[in-house]
Structure 1
Amino acid sequence: MHSDTPYEITPTTRYGDPYYRPTGARQPVILPAEVPPGVDWVTLPGGVRTLAYTQPAPPPPAIPVSQPIPAWAKTTALLAPTVGGGIAAAGIGLSYAAPGLVAMSHALWSAAALIVAAVTAIPLLIRTARRATGSRGGESGSTHITQNITATGLFGRANGTINHH
């Protein structure tokens, strides 16, 4: 017999007779507090009460409780048609404005091309006009500017002269 067995198990000698008890066997007494979880007293079909493993009772079905609708969900639900209507109105407006937008884009490209042409053509025109008339009333050549700067010491004051020739 094992030392961890809490009570003695005595097999019956007459199998099939559920009421047979050996004469010298002493049945253990188990208090209700000592019954482990998952074990319960059951009555067998022959009327004998014994301990047996039982299935735990299923938990009662949860009754769904209605929750109030949060304020953000109500606001979102109310804004959805408004936003959708605004997008639809914008699409309709763009479809009516498309020919005008195409014309405006062509006009903008034309204006940009005119500005680029003016920026490149005006200096060329001025240069050719100067060559044709000559610079400074008939003088030939260009103006020479010389500059002389002198300073004394590392942090001395610098003086200079500019000469036009």
Structure 2
Amino acid sequence: MKIAVYPGSFDPVTCGHLDIIKRSCKVFDKVIVAVLNNSAKHPLFSVSERMELIGRCTKDLPNCEVDSFGGLLVDFAKKKNADTVIRGLRAISDFEYEFQMALLNKKLNPEIETMFMVTSLNCLYISSSVVKEICLYGGNTQGLIPDEIIEDVKYKMEKEC
């Protein structure tokens, strides 16, 4: 069984993330969307909230699982019997960082490969931080985040900001 891990903060999950998840599910037998639990960051949504939002958006993908992790990604991948890490690329600026991380992960565990997926053209400009900024000022987030979570993001932004 070919298992891949798609890690990220997903704060919140965007249409760009969902694009990568759906396309990955066509390539792998199982895709684990792994929500990063990073205590150094101050996300808008808790880990459990992010997992729930992703779960709602991926409920129709039978080979998609949502989980969370802290620590080294390669350790999580090994624990989940995954041999591939999926990373999405939006722009050339993403590549340098992602390439460095792929090399570091390869050094830490040579058995785990990194697969880069280029985001679809209609999602190239979308990021979680841009979505939060638009939402903060009352802008329209339709087409930027999945419809299933638009109200959740609006509510959370109003409550927290």
Who wins on radius of gyration, i.e. which is larger? 1
On whether the aligned pair clears a TM of 0.5, the verdict is no
Higher relative contact order (CA 8 A, sep 6+): 2
- Higher-strand-fraction structure: 2
Structure with a larger share of its residues in helix: 2
What is the TM-score normalised by the length of structure 2?
0.13
